[in-house]
Amino acid sequence: MYNSNYPACTICYTKVTKLDKYKCTPETLHTAYKLAKINPNYHKLIFDLENNKKPIEVEMTGLALFSIKKYFSDRVVFSVIPYEEIQQRKLSKSDTMEGEGLVVNLLRTVIGWDLVASLVEAEPDIVTVSLRTRDENKFEVSKIAKSVGEKGGGHKGAAGTTIKEPLNKAKATLLKAIGQTFPELRK
């Protein structure tokens, strides 16, 4: 099923469909044209890549979107899933990790939400945090991930950490770190 053109097709697809972010050039469009000639069914490949969610990913995404909380004049947004909710739904720890990146990346797409985080308490008093930003040059989220929790780190625009505290305390710790690291969000 693997075709050596798949990586090139997906790169061109990403660049062409996200023109403003990736500065699509005429060369990119020409390469996409040539790849489409080589693999005329590239749209099936893209469909398969984009539409391969597991049921648990969709369930976790729905749960996360239902639990959105806004802070700092709605510029900072958290999706917060407490342990009780996970226990009630009889989800495993690995279940809770399904769709986590999907949610925080979806939250990042919302205009006006400068910094977003997913907080999941898969075990009592252990909160997994994923952070994203729309503007990594303005809000380097890895600074926050490194300043709270354990083993925090990542990239300027995407980072994560684990906070070993009850969920409400972890949320407060994270909000405090965000406010101290980026005081302009408080305005």
The encoded tokens of residue 158 equal 């995407």
pLDDT single digits (tens) 149-163 = 888 899 999 999 999
Q: What pLDDT does residue 187 have?
A: 75
pLDDT single digits (tens) 88-127 = 988 888 877 776 677 888 899 999 999 999 999 989 999 9
Contacts 24+ apart (CB under 8 A), 31-35: 35/5, 35/8, 35/9
Distance CA 155, CA 158 (A): 5
Is the confidence at residue 137, as pLDDT, over 80?
yes
Mean pLDDT of the chain: 83
Distance CA 91, CA 21 (A): 37
pLDDT single digits (tens) 18-69 = 544 556 677 777 777 777 777 777 777 777 767 777 888 888 888 888 999 9
Is the confidence at residue 2, as pLDDT, over 70?
no
Q: What is the CA radius of gyration of the chain?
A: 19
55-186 classified as CATH 3.10.310.30: yes
Contacts of 103 (CB under 8 A, 6+ apart): 60, 61, 64, 65, 79, 118
pTM: 0.74
CATH 3.10.310.30 intervals, the chain: 55-186
**Backbone conformation region of residue 11, classed left if phi is above 0, alpha if psi is from -120 to 50, else beta:** alpha
Q: What pLDDT does residue 177 have?
A: 96
Residue 8's pLDDT band, with cuts at 50, 70 and 90, is: low
Position with higher pLDDT, 52 vs 15? 52
